A and B are shown apart, each in its own frame.
Chain A
Amino acid sequence: MLEKRDLLEQQTPLEQKKLIVSHAPFYHSGRRVTERSYHTMLAALPALLLGFYHYGMPAISVVCLSISTAIFWELAFNLVAKRTITIGDGNAALLGLLFAMLLPATTPWWAVITGTFIAVVVGKQIFGGIGSNAFNPVALAIAIMMVSYKELFDFDTALLNYDLEFATIYPLKAAKYFGTASLDSFNLVDLFLGRQLGGIGATFGLGLMLGGIYLMLRGFIRWEISLTFLAGVYLAAFVFNLFDPVRFAGPGIHLLTGYTLIGAFFLATEDSSSPVNIIPMLVYGAAGGIMVVLIRNIGAYVDGVVLAILVINLLSPLLDKIRPEALGKVM
């Protein structure tokens, strides 16, 4: 199958056959969901390790509890619903990890357990399990938790007792409430190297980018989504900043703070909630990026990444209507 497709790509349009059907037996490429889940977790590791370095044992507690409870929720749902046990695919562990990476290190245990329940059971399993969820389960869980327990996501309050060697104010909040003058203590290199307050694994730009590039090279995520998402953030922030540089932060700040990078590489790219065709993927990513800046700059929330991702998840089936015209016609 694969060889035939390669052959097809090398042919000029005139030489191409319109339809190729091969019959069984087919062979399996060897790729499994399990591999995909654990490799995504591996790609998230650099960003996570810096979070452990900054926030110590409390961060480790949150991540461990989140991964394990996510797996247990999936196991419990499988048993209650009398379905096949699916924890072997590693997807629940991945959801647990990504959920924890967005949380502040001091998140209480009950919030972690509630959040993983929302991600795994409400976000994924009730839709029918992996591949059937309309929304990114992690974004959904964070959004529900953020609306229900607003205080938990106030990074300034949550991380009050950390003595860190960089500016200890959440940059997006400073930008939103005190204007761009308050951002003088931040420089973009520091932000890129993770020297900022934020989620356990969401602040280390370099680590997230390396993880994202690894996932793109391995074909686990689509560059079309990540890059257009970031381009959307950049362009929208640039326009706002041009319009009022005192009130609205520049594109660099928007790209390197909050959940932007983890959203672009690890959340927006989740496969069942994102489009499958090229043009829809480009529109999906760009719409998400623009939405992020709109929510941050004129919306009520400090960081709009998870909400923007939920909105584009909702658009995804509609966007997939933009597709190549089918060959042939029905007589």
Chain B
Amino acid sequence: MFSKKESMLAYGLAVCLLVTGVVSYAAFPLKAPEEPLRIMFNVEAGKVLFDHKIHTVEEGYGLSCEDCHHELLDGESDEAQACGECHDPEEGDEEVPKRADAFHQQCAGCHEDYEAGPVEEECTLCHIL
């Protein structure tokens, strides 16, 4: 039905691409950068995509790490930690507010101060509902 050439081409493609695929899957996985570029928060109120890079680079909003990662300022840590390490998604108190409150305070608070970006009253500007 098919010429030998056609069959050989299909077998050749299948084998060569399988080897290339398996090797490149194993050897070249995409590594997450040390400093996050964007972060997707999967929360009940709808996902929030936070562009970390645009907030930190000079051409963006030029914030320094300490502006948000207050643990650096307080000397609690030498390296910036992920917010969720202390701010629990479920529980919080006055000392350590729960994650959602901390974010709303941090993000919306800063946006209001600078009169830029989405504010807390407009949920759908951040949350994908």
Contacts and interface: CB of A to CB of B under 8 A. Distances in A.
A177 interface: yes
Contacts, number: 109
B14 to A, nearest CB: 4
Interface stretch (B60-68, B80-88, B109-117, B121-129): B121-129
B7 A162 contact: no
Interface in A70-87: 71-72, 75, 84-87
Nearest to A164: B37
A58 B30 contact: yes
Describe A's contact surface by its main secondary structure: helix
Interface residues of A, number: 41
Given A34-B2, A177-B128, A61 B10 contact: no
Nearest to B37: A163
A152 to B, nearest CB: 14
Nearest to B6: A88
Contacts of B24: 57-58, 60-61, 64
A221 to B, nearest CB: 22
A106 B128 CA distance: 22
8 contacts: A61-B25, A65-B21, A68-B16, A68-B21, A87-B10, A156-B49, A162-B30, A177-B124
Interface of A: 34, 56-58, 60-69, 71-72, 75, 84-90, 92-93, 105-106, 109, 154, 156-157, 160-163, 168-169, 173, 177-178
Interface of B: 1-3, 6-7, 9-11, 13-18, 20-22, 24-25, 28-33, 36-40, 47, 49, 51, 53, 124-125, 128-129
